[in-house]
Amino acid sequence: MEKVKLLVIEILLFPITFLNAMIPDSSAVLNTVNKVVDWQIEHYSDMNKNRIYKSFGDLSWENGVFLSALSEWAEFRNDSSLISWYRNICERNRYSLSTANHRIYHADDLAVCLMYATLYDKTGKDEVIHHTLSRLEFIMNHPSKAVFGEKSKHVNDRWCWCDALYMAPPVFARFANITGNNKMRDFMDKEFWDTHKFLYDESESLFFRDAKYFKRKEKNGEKVFWGRGNAWVLAGLSRIITYLPSDYPSRSKYISLFKEMASRIVSLQDKRGHWHASMLDPISYPDPEMSCTAFFTYALWWGINNGVLDEEIYLKSAINGWNAIVGSVQKDGMLGWVQPVGQAPKKVTAEMTEVYGPAAVMLAAMEILKFSDGFAL
């Protein structure tokens, strides 16, 4: 009888034990990230050569996403070389935000601000966050009157496209913590849920990219849900929840949305661990898309680490996602299969890359190292 009990216990524990054996080795994770980051830094200044939509410098949203992630990775690893590199970028830009196109409200221009928050946490220097606070306070105190769905040159003054939920809300939430100004949280909270009401498809548990896609269909007849667009949202939720106080009234709503989306998203992961440019039509877009794969992978590991997602249910998907990332890193360290700047599913090739891909890789790696206590390395 005792042998039978032991056998039953072994059978029940087998899936967990097997998955634990598959957890990425910390040294291998570090090796992968170091290769990816080294390549990206080496090519940082010449990325525009292959861009259709040219970046306008360090403060562009693409670079802002990369630099914010790199600053966190550099401080997390206490890497003096990377710390010096990102701090030099902060200084040469005088801790400012983009003024391209003379925009004030646009969410993309806030992406770089999390780099300044990271630096401020380390230095405590007010000059580091002065420009960011000025911008956030103006937006908050003079809210845009743009209306979702209306055709207007000011339509993007509010977060009417799903990418914006990665670029702006985490910034408001984090700077609310820095300043102690709860009005920043409340402003973010209202704007986030207005966007959710406008773009979220309750029946699919996915976000439309923007209003243009409400009625569009894929070749297979399914609705158009962009891979990276939904990855922006899930990764953005990870960061919003991180920065919100545990007693903030609507924090539980963000957690519920995160869990609802995560459940849907893992059901759409392919057998190789990838996600695709189109969430619901992978046949039309059969190649992997690594920016959404990496951001989804980050979000899953974050969810597991923070007790938001059940490890027994989600760990396999998180592991497979990381393995898919590793398989897309080329010999020289370039992360391939990254869809360029866009707003809808497009064909992706192994030669395509962009800075937000490595950004997601760094974020995912930090969560994996936390999971495995690898941060002590």
The catalytic residues are: 163
Distances (CA, A) of 351 to 47, 65, 335, 345, 358: 13, 21, 9, 17, 14
The answer to whether 35 and 328 are in contact (CB under 8 A) is: no
- Give bridge partners of residue 201 from the DSSP assignment: 206
* 309, two tokens: 């997602």
Per residue, the 3-state secondary structure of the chain, as one string, reads: CHHHHHHHHHHHHHHHHHHHHHCCCHHHHHHHHHHHHHHHHHCHHHHHHHCCCCCCCCCCHHHHHHHHHHHHHHHHHCCHHHHHHHHHHHHHCCCCCCCHHHCCCCHHHHCCHHHHHHHHHHHCCHHHCHHHHHHHHHHHHCCCCCCCCCCCCCHHHCCCCCCHHHHCHHHHHHHHHHHCCHHHHHHHHHHHHHHHHHHEECCCCEECCCHHHCCCECCCCCECCEHHHHHHHHHHHHHHHHHCCCCCCCHHHHHHHHHHHHHHHHCCCCCCCCCCCECCCCCCCCCCCHHHHHHHHHHHHHHHHCCCCCHHHHHHHHHHHHHHHHHCECCCCCECCCCCCCCCCCCCCCCCCCCHHHHHHHHHHHHHHHHCCHHHC
In the chain, the N- to C-terminal Cα span, in Å, equals: 45
Measure the CA angle with vertex 226, ends 224 and 231; round to 5°.
Answer: 145
* 375, two tokens: 């941060």
Backbone angles phi, psi at 164, to 5 degrees: -60, -25
